[in-house]
Amino acid sequence: MRIFGLIPGPRGRLPSGRLQWLGGALLLAAVVGMIVIRESDAPKAPPSAAPDTPPGTFQAAPGQWAALGMETVAAHAFQTQIDTDGRIVANDEATTAVYSPVSGRVAVVAAHVGDRVSKDAVLMTVDATDMVQARSDLAAAVASAAAADAQLRQAVVTEQRQHALYQADGGALKDWQQAQLDLVTAETAQRTAAAALVAVRERLRVLGRTPQEITALGTGAGMAPTPVRAPFAGTVLQRQVGPGQYVNAAANGGAVAFTLADLSSVWLLANVREADVAAVAVGQGVDVRVAAYPDRVFHGRVAAVAPGLDPTTRRLPVRVVLDNADGALKPEMMANVRLVSGPVTPVLAVPERAVIHEGEAARVWVADAARHALALRPVRLGREEDGLVEVLDGLKAGDSVVTKGALFIDRAAQGE
């Protein structure tokens, strides 16, 4: 039998030389195996570590430094701003309710919601029952005035004739004196009749009749429906009447027929939080935006501040007047409102893009240009305006902060 290529000798024994060689080989293999096992169990030496960098700092490589954008911390005059919401409404001082001046049945409705009407435009006409009596009164007043005029003319002629006779010794003094008395009486009657006619005409004017229509009625012309006219140029906001509807005169408790408003200026009603009440005052500038025109800012000023908070909303009502010559703002539009105060003492500020937010905390990377080193600095922030944010604590004027690549540096410093 062959083992490891060896041939057994006589009586099954190996030669002594070969036996020694085999023992040495086995011993060597055992030693090598022990060495291998020990080396495999021994802890490996850690790789050479990079140079230690203090926490919150970063050493930028030349290529990284060149890619960064930086700005210097400087002072900025912030304005006190209060952001809230509001609602566009018609200007109450340029809005009026239009009533029918007479009682009767609506003949024609000439104006509708949204119509722009000129001053004295006819909104509706009414077949007025009141006009029957008014026309009768006008006819009587015209007749009385005509009679008084005739009597006055006759009295003047009589007085002149009696005076001439008396001077020619052809008439008695008492006749002349009586003629003078009759003249005075006729003059008084004429003035009374004229005043009564003016009163009737004025009543017809109040009832919506023009001077031409009043004159025509006085001559016996047919009576047309009474027009209800717009008191000023504006837009019809509401209409509460329809053709054929019976309406009462305003003097008899009649209801509103139309609501008319001049929308060349409108009001904004805003609601200010209780915490911001101290910063609101009459005359304060206001910037307004509406969803219909997202790129347009409407400017106005606070016209009135309520004396107290609304008990339901717990907010302070504020009224703002806005110019609306082009009619862009419509009543009941919702608006975003910013109340702006005058400039205050300049304070330190940094661009918003330089700030890294982590929950409630805020940080910025401050650059050391001489060493190409960056240090993470916690900051306390205040107001925001035009892309800048106020720095209350953590920076000083002249510090250079990273505005481009700050997030990249933040991740690199954390080993991401």
> Is 160 contained in some domain?
yes
> Is 352 contained in some domain?
yes
Contacts of 225 (CB under 8 A, 6+ apart): 107, 108, 125, 126, 127, 128
Q: Checking DSSP bridges between strand 104-109 and strand 246-247, what pairing results, if any?
A: antiparallel
Q: Write down the pLDDT at residue 359.
A: 84
CA atoms within 13 A on the CB side of 153: 6
Domain shared by 274 and 219, yes or no: no
Domain shared by 123 and 188, yes or no: yes
> Is 52 contained in some domain?
no
Q: How many angstroms separate the CA atoms of 386 and 78, rounded?
A: 9
Domain shared by 123 and 205, yes or no: yes
Domain shared by 222 and 181, yes or no: yes
Residue 272 belongs to domain spanning: 82-92+263-341
- Asked if pLDDT for residue 249 goes beyond 50, the answer is yes
Q: What is the pTM of this model?
A: 0.54
Domain shared by 213 and 143, yes or no: yes
Q: Write down the pLDDT at residue 298.
A: 97
Q: Which residue has the tokens 């004017």?
A: 205
Structural domain count, the chain: 3
Domain shared by 217 and 328, yes or no: no
Confidence of residue 344 (pLDDT cuts 50, 70, 90): low
Confidence of residue 373 (pLDDT cuts 50, 70, 90): confident
Confidence of residue 299 (pLDDT cuts 50, 70, 90): very high
Higher pLDDT, 385 or 115: 115
Confidence of residue 12 (pLDDT cuts 50, 70, 90): very low
Read off the pLDDT of residues 70-113 as tens digits, 9 standing for 90 and up: 888 998 887 778 899 999 999 999 999 999 988 888 999 999 99
Domain shared by 112 and 248, yes or no: yes
Domain shared by 402 and 279, yes or no: no
3-class DSSP state of 402: strand
> Is 383 contained in some domain?
yes
Domain shared by 304 and 200, yes or no: no
Mean of pLDDT over the chain = 83
Q: How many angstroms separate the CA atoms of 357 and 410, rounded?
A: 11
